[in-house]
Structure 1
């Protein structure tokens, strides 16, 4: 019996398995890139169920049919070896099998139990936090971080996790405190940098946010493509809301789009930034054609409603009609047949919203308002952060303005301007509503 980097028992005698496990854990929590050794480790240590579980998860992360085949191989191994593991390893492995089998209700129960019974497993806690984030459960996200923090007081990652949980629960001062603490403990903690950026954006502290992210940006160079592009996406938002549109376009071309054009979250970051610029009247040239072509080539869609809502607009703007038809057919099927845990998010939020976004791409703002007004009060259910979901709120607001429904838009924009004073983007949209043009 050995231990991982957080002192959790591993049912193995293999140095290779321990080393690969620790690389995998650190890469996942710290957004690194050293995942692949887990495959060889599991191949050489087939009786270690948790190593096979990690390998299964890595296959799923690959987001391709080949990746699913790889995941299936290690899934079978993990299931076969599961009874040889500790209680924690069995529970964790069972949760990974649920991810593979798309059993979200069972998965959520197991992750709660893993956090409660085994708070030393910070990987399990991070996986749990990400999973509850994807269904918009901010309360549980914070509970997870609060539950494990006492076991990880010397670990910057734990404070970065709590910072984000606190920010999503609108505990902004405490979130910034945790994010700054994590960064002081370990400068290369990009999730903590990101949590503080969320706070500063929410509070309208744009100049401060730009300085914060710029000072830490050298720490993102060796992180995985999502974390690199997402933190630059955050930096771009500061400039965009200050209505410096030249800088976000440059960041889009140089930092946000192009690291891994096939990866879902890189695509989401790119679509989100490009769409925001367009909503504010910026000519983005032919950029939709490139991002739309990569979205159209995705072998897997309909994984998460939040992703598909982005894909629908990108495909419509890029004129990718065949891929858009395939996406929408899949969304309609999910609205009927998705597991009960996520079916409402598909049926009542993602599907009508995406129809509204397609209407925007087609210039039919009256239809967009009809569709989006049905869905917008339930956006929490599709996951994503407050900052990410604000894209969809802006789509509704700008559609109201384009449709001439100034009476509906005006109080919403007044509330935005009162909450975050002196934000040029909000001020300009509010002025437009007041001018009624």
Structure 2
């Protein structure tokens, strides 16, 4: 029997509210969070319907912190002032979310509070998603996996849980387990984009590029309601599959134009989320020497990224923006952005500063490379560079892999063919079907005077180049 004034949310937990409309907004928002929906702003309706609802206020504040932070404090105060009347569940969510949105937050404490929340309320998948996103930006997929494994017994047949299980498994290199989890999630709900996305990662890792493209294109009819990031990120995966499978550059350009850049035409698009995927794709194309096929698209993106509103949203975007701006001659803007990153770094706690030092090195290297200084960029990176150690920028294995390619090209450009060959062979042990790696190996062998080996791998590259999408 519920106490007067309490209602049950979609997870079955008590919320203090007199308003059914407030509860509906909270439930809708939680669904948007776990499904990567584009209508997360629905949470702003909750405090309008019930200004005293703790959960409605704190979730609305969390939403606004990444949109318009100046509007968040009154909502936080409203939540605080009503805590004594709230349920235990609401107080737990408040503590966890409030810690998450503090300036210079303590990531470890925020994660611990979410862990406690999920221990007591394991069916709250929106809080699990928040915690996993935090783990992602901490580059700690191991902790993300622990969280989802703890709540799995309470959610075994639930929608969305298996996509949440699959992703940290991917990031830990456990691809067979990730595939099993994603396929189970896909069986429960074939429209769950996070399971679709996880399966695409598996196909890409195994270099089944044609299979990945066919699968994602079949799923794409379910993407129209996704957030700008998730919609364009799914299409980014399709474009990267075409690129890595050595399909025509025109196909890649078509995906960019029709499914990434075109997202900006939608009235509710989030431009920064689109620019992240656009810049990530254009860097790969640039490294393949095919940027001319894209005409002035890089310059158009650079013009958008001179707008400081899109700076410091995410480290990953900032790193890519530095390259975009420097590469297109916007040096003063790039220097301003770099100075801003250095300032942010200086204000961090010593622990956080130590963790983000690599991110800063990568940012400087991309800036210098964008200016055309290959030697300077190489000098800024670690002697035994491995992009997997740079996921702290807020990027997956697949997203940071482009920096391994950059590292190899920098070695070759600076005459260090032996080190480049070692780096390429390391990558090929994991993914033998990536055509560009064989072309880079051919170049390395030629530079190293290994003519017969160069001929052999050159033939392998050409054979592989027609195998993925012409079979």
TM interval, shorter chain, is over 0.9
Deviation at 1:119, TM superposition (A): 1.2
Q: Which residues of 2 match residues 397-408 of structure 1 at below 5 A?
A: 397-408=408-419
Larger radius of gyration: 2
Q: Does 1:111 align with 2:119?
A: no
Pairing 1:257–2:261 present: yes
Within 2, Cα distance between the matches of 1:340 and 1:82? 33
Cα shift readout 1:345-391 (whole Å, capped 9, x = no counterpart): 33x21222121111211211111111122694431333311001112
Instruction: For residue 246 of structure 2, give the secondary structure of its aligned residue in structure 1.
Output: coil
- After TM superposition, give the deviation of residue 71 of structure 1 in Å: 1.9
Shift of 1:424: 1.1
Task: Identify the residue that residue 288 of structure 2 maps to in structure 1.
Answer: 280
Q: 1:225 to 1:303 in 2, by over 3 A?
A: closer
**Alpha-carbon RMSD:** 1.9
- Give the Cα separation in 1 of the matches to 2:126 and 2:242: 34
Pick from 25, 28, 31: which aligns with 2:36?
A: 31
Distance 2:70 2:254 in 1: 38
Query: In structure 2, which of residues 156, 170, 174 is the aligned counterpart of residue 171 of structure 1?
Result: 174
* Counterpart selection for 1:232 from 226, 231, 235: 235
3-state secondary structure, aligned to 2:82: helix
Q: Secondary structure at the match of 1:170?
A: coil
**What corresponds to 1:61 in structure 2?**
66
- Structure 1 unaligned segments of length 5 or more: list them: none
The equivalent position to 1:422 in structure 2, one of 402, 425, 433, is 433
Q: Is the partner of 2:263 in helix, strand or coil? A: coil
**Counterpart of 1:396 in 2: which secondary structure?**
helix
Aligned to 2:252: 248
Contact 1:345 1:381 in 2 (8 A): yes
Give yes or no for the alignment of 1:350 onto 2:352: no
Distance 1:278 1:411 in 2: 23
Change (3 A) 1:76 1:293: farther
Equivalent position SS for 1:156? coil
Instruction: Determine whether 1:122 maps to 2:125.
Output: yes
1:325 is displaced (CA, Å) by 2.3
Q: Quote how far apart the aligned CAs of 1:142 are.
A: 0.8
TM-score by length of 1: 0.94
| TM-aligned CA deviation for residue 292 of structure 1 | 1.7
For the pair 1:52 / 2:57, whether they are aligned, the reply is: yes
Alignment check: 8 A CA contact 1:142 1:169 kept: no
Corresponding residue number in structure 2 for 1:5: 10
Q: Are the aligned partners of 2:129 and 2:164 in contact in 1 as well (CA < 8 Å)?
A: yes
Could you say if the C-alpha distance between residues 376 and 135 of structure 1 is closer, same or farther in structure 2, counting changes exceeding 3 Å?
farther
How far the C-alpha of 1:50 sits from its partner, in A, is 0.8
Q: Tell me if 1:201 matches 2:210.
A: no
Equivalent residue, structure 1, for 2:47: 42
TM-score (norm. length: structure 2): 0.87
Task: Find the residue that maps to 1:90 and give its secondary structure.
Answer: helix
Change (3 A) 1:83 1:429: farther
The aligned counterpart of 2:21 is 16
State the aligned residue count: 432
Q: Does the alignment pair 1:76 with 2:81? A: no
- 1:124 CA displacement: 0.5
Deviations 1:47-86 (A, max 9, x none): 2111111111221232xxxx11222232222222233322
* Contact 2:272/2:310 (8 A) holds in 1: no
Unaligned runs of 5+ in 2: 1-5, 449-471
Quote the offset at 1:233 in angstroms. 0.5
Aligned counterpart, 1:132: 135
Measure the CA separation in 1 of the matches of 2:272 and 2:138: 17
CA contact (8 A) 2:305 2:321 kept: yes
Q: Is the 8 A contact 2:325 2:370 kept in 1?
A: no
1:321 corresponds, among 316, 319, 331, to: 331
In the aligned structure 1, how far is the partner of 2:171 from the partner of 2:434?
A: 21
TM superposition shift of 1:300:
5.6
Matches within 5 A, 1:77-96: 77-96=78-97
Residue 71 to residue 318, structure 1, CA distance change in 2 (3 Å): farther
Question: Which region of structure 1 is more displaced relative to structure 2, 394-403 or 373-382?
Answer: 373-382
Q: Spell out, residue by residue over 1:158-210, the C-alpha distance to the aligned partner (whole angstroms, 9 max, x if none).
A: 01110112111111111111112212211211111111111111121212211
Whole-angstrom CA distance in 2 between matches of 1:9 and 1:247: 51
- Measure the CA separation in 2 of the matches of 1:123 and 1:247: 37
Mapped contact 2:15–2:89 kept (Cα < 8 A): no
